Amino acid sequence: MKLLCKYVVLLFLVSAQFSFAQKLTRKEKKILKTIEANNNEAIEFLKDVVNINSGTMNHDGVKEVGDVFGKAFEDIGFKSSWYDMSQVNRSGHLFAETYGKKGKKLLLIGHLDTVFEENSPFQEFKMVNDSIAHAPGGNDMKGGNVIILYALKALKENGLLNDAQIIAAFTGDEEASGKPISISRKHLVDAAKRSDIALGFETSTGFNYATVARRGSSGWKVEIKGKRAHSSGIFRDNVGAGAVFEMSRILNEFYNEVRGEEYLTFNPGILLGGTLMEFDSELSKGNVFGKTNVVAQKAVVEGGLRFISEEQKENARAKMREIVNNNLPQTSAEITFIDSYPAMGPTKGNHKLLDILNEVSIDLGQGEVEAYDPGRRGAADVSFVAQYVDCLDGLGTMGNGAHTPQETVNLNTIEALTKRTAILIYRLINQR
């Protein structure tokens, strides 16, 4: 059945592109032929960069992948720059740029790092069948980087990048961004301020979807102190409820009082409580000691918060603070928040970009493109630039199992998605 579905999809793409080809200009048809001629090379390039481990904390590996892409961009006339990020304990970022004043100024966003560190058993690009490959980071998101590169390569080979300003920005720490963000995302924000439009190439959710909004991400931490005493005295006025009961109260009230708004979610990811406790936030691990006959003295929980706007984030934080401050007897609690990814709201400008992409897709015979549900997408680098430019994301490769040892990339869709990207870029850089 899977094999049959694969050939049905391919037949649809081929026949649809033939049917709608008359809506493309002569130059656009030449772009498509170039992409077809370069497709096998693109897949081999993807295989090569996947086989270089670039887990976020493998700084040398991230730099090596950046060097490979940097040379490829220079080969098509871009100037590449590497920005070292050792001051935030990360490898760095690759930026490649061509300069001009024609049409819209574009920022194309990808990332070099993956979630698979050097000690991961999942390290190699391996074919599953003639269209699907297991590939660590192949879908999230080295495949998206390859789409950017080979779309621009096709435009360059047809002499269509003259006098265009395009910045390809590949961060080296998207999966675990360096802190503070003001340093690790400075170059990306600066590039956005010189651009009109940002296109993100995180994993595609299908030919008929693109991302006009993404939820933001914030960390939170609750630390609780109770009074250590023999358990026989718990609930007495001089002993109180203990740290674990206070933590239970707080989490239960979070669930009942904060939960419910559309697009707002929060998740307690790690919880410790007892008599003695050590917790390392950086490694997200700890040790705890306690006994059933001793009232717990300490407790800590760390979690994440997802939101669609700054207003929603701040409202949720206010509710959480109020709950944390209403303590059980003989306990105290403190909540802290750490900003990570801002939200990318569903603006009119983003929807206008979607309309342009939709027209491109229809002209290519790939069907209509709709806005994807932001509640089903995680945070991404495009969110850092959303306040400065119109944005569209989810333009990368198709596949499954991202962030797992079962991650796959669908090689048969790379050509079609590269065509869509190239025509979109071509039309945008020729807009006034």
Residue 124 has pLDDT above 90, yes or no: yes
Give the pLDDT confidence score for residue 22 in this predicted structure: 56
For residue 142, with 0-12 CB atoms within 10 Å meaning exposed, 13-18 middle and 19 or more buried, which class applies?
Answer: buried
Question: 3-state DSSP call for residue 298?
Answer: strand
Residue 16 has pLDDT above 80, yes or no: no
Look up residue 334 and give its amino acid.
E
Percent of the chain with pLDDT over 90: 89
pLDDT tens, 247-289?
999 999 999 999 999 999 999 999 999 999 999 887 778 999 9
Residue 54 has pLDDT above 80, yes or no: yes
Give the pLDDT confidence score for residue 377 in this predicted structure: 82
Q: How far apart are CA 60 and CA 64, in angstroms?
A: 6
Give the pLDDT confidence score for residue 8 in this predicted structure: 43
Note the pTM of the prediction, 2 decimals.
0.86
- Phi and psi angles of residue 75, each rounded to the nearest 5 degrees, phi first: -65, -20
Full DSSP string of 252-281: HHIIIIITTSTT-EEEEEEEEEESEEEEET
Residue 38 has pLDDT above 90, yes or no: yes
Helical axes 143-157 vs 414-428, angle rounded to 10°: 60
Q: How far apart are CA 315 and CA 21, in angstroms?
A: 50
Residue 169 has pLDDT above 60, yes or no: yes
Residue 206 has pLDDT above 90, yes or no: no
pLDDT tens, 364-383?
999 999 999 998 887 899 99
pLDDT tens, 207-233?
899 999 999 999 999 999 999 999 999
Please state the three-class secondary structure of 153-187 as a single string: HHHHHCCCCCCEEEEEEEECCCCCCCCCHHHHCHH
Contact 392, 108 (CB under 8 A): no
In the chain, count H helices and then E strands: 10, 18
Give the pLDDT confidence score for residue 5 in this predicted structure: 43
Residue 1 has pLDDT above 50, yes or no: no
Give the pLDDT confidence score for residue 428 in this predicted structure: 98
Rounded to an integer, the average pLDDT of 2-17 is 46
pLDDT tens, 343-354?
999 999 999 999
Helical axes 59-75 vs 143-157, angle rounded to 10°: 20
Question: 3-state DSSP call for residue 220?
Answer: strand
